[in-house]
Structure 1
């Protein structure tokens, strides 16, 4: 097995929305804001090469939305999903499986693209199975008013229409061992219903793809919960349980949204679990 980090692009979000009840005077120490109160965010994916299988975890924002839509998110940098794959000698047609942690637009938007004449949508990965779960799929396709703006039909419905959609079989305890994709999955419900957090055993270490359970290192303290989360008190409890385990077992946490830190570890302190060290992917696994 080989694992590669994939940069799909960068964007900006409102710092206050990203930190909920935490004052700017505190959160800006780890996530400095610009003059418009926006903080830098990445959209980082993972590519897993395992035998004949090439699995991509999350697909970023994509490129099919309008200029007006992209204007809300202040895209910056020159990294794209295509260029990152090409750097490794791959292209979208090589992908056999696309695992979507959840269906918010910044995690699944790159799954669907326009056809050549921009008259219809089509899967960006024509040879891949797209993996979600039934509970989250229902949540996304019949969205509540609070999340509706994050679940864009053009990102979601074409996946099912293509016939390439598959569902992960969930477990009663929200932890799936040896899933259909040969890695473990933790399901969490604070951010959105049945978000899936992959756990990968790689080179003797546990690498956890954090998605929106832990967007950046600035979100490690328990009260630092996004306003985007549908059940913030549940997020707090889920973070506490996970971070204690991560500190006990020395997990390496792969940060999808931290524009400046790829991987971190955490440790127990008198104030609770806190940041231990930050690393690049290559510092740990090359």
Structure 2
């Protein structure tokens, strides 16, 4: 197995929404805001090369939405999924599976694109199967009013219409479950119903792709929960269990949304679990 970080594009989100009830005077220390109160956000995906499979974990926003839509998110930088794949010697047609932690637009929008004459939509990875889970699919395709703007039908229905939509099976018997894709999955429900966090062992390290459970380094302290979460008190419980497990076992957190930090370890302190060390991906896995 070989894994790679895939940068699909950076954007900005409102800092207050990202930190919920935490005052700006506190979160601004770790996630400084611009004059519009917006903070830097990444859409960093994970590519897993394993035997004859090339699995992409999440796919970013994509580029099919309107100029008005993207105007809300202040895209910045030069990253794109095609450039990231090209730098590694891959093409989007090489992708065999797209595993989506959940179906909010910034995690799955890149899975679907306009067709050639822009009359409809088609899979952006023509040889790939798309993976979610049945409970989350039902949640996303019959959205509540709070999340409706994040579950876009043009991102979802074309996956189903392609005939290549698959549901991860789960037995619900453990904190961490194995999947048919060759990595473990942690299911969490605070942010949205049945979000899936991949867990894998690589070069002597245990890594968890933390998606929206811990969006950035600034979200490590337990009460730092996003205003976007549908069940914030459940997120608190899930984070407490998760962070303790990570700190006790010295796992690495792989950040999807932290624009400036890729990986970290955690430690127990008198104030609870806190940041231990920060690493770039290459520092650990491709040292010079």
Which runs of 5 or more structure 2 residues have no equivalent in the other structure?
none
Q: CA deviation at 1:171?
A: 2.1
Q: What secondary structure, in the 3-state scheme, does the structure 2 residue paired with 1:85 have?
A: helix
Residues 13, 39 of structure 1: 8 Å contact kept: yes
Q: Name the counterpart of 2:180.
A: 180
Q: State the partner residue of 2:133.
A: 133
- Contact preservation (8 Å) 2:170, 2:177: no
In structure 1, C-alpha distance between the alignment counterparts of 2:174 and 2:187, rounded to whole Å: 5
TM-score, normalization by structure 2: 0.98
The Cα shift of 1:176 comes to 4.9
Q: Which residue of 2 aligns with 1:193?
A: 193
How far apart in 1 are the matches of 2:79 and 2:52? 26
Matched, 1:278 2:278: yes
**1:177 CA displacement:** 3.2
8 Å contact from structure 1 (residues 2, 50) kept in 2: yes
Q: For the residues of structure 2 that align with 1:263 and 1:15, how far apart are their CA atoms? A: 21
Aligned partner of 1:62 in structure 2 is 62
The match for 2:52 is 52
Written as runs of structure 1 = structure 2, the 5 A alignment for 1:240-259 is: 240-259=240-259
The alignment's TM-score, normalised by the length of structure 1, stands at 0.99
Q: RMSD in angstroms over aligned alpha carbons?
A: 0.7
> 1:162-181 counterparts in 2 under 5 A?
162-173=162-173, 175-181=175-181
Residue 155 (str. 1) matches residue 152 (str. 2)? no
SS of equivalent to 1:17: helix
- Cα separation, 1, equivalents of 2:177 and 2:239: 20
Match status 1:13 vs 2:13? yes
> Is 1:35 aligned to residue 35 of structure 2?
yes
Runs of 4+ in 1 over 3 A off after TM superposition: 173-177
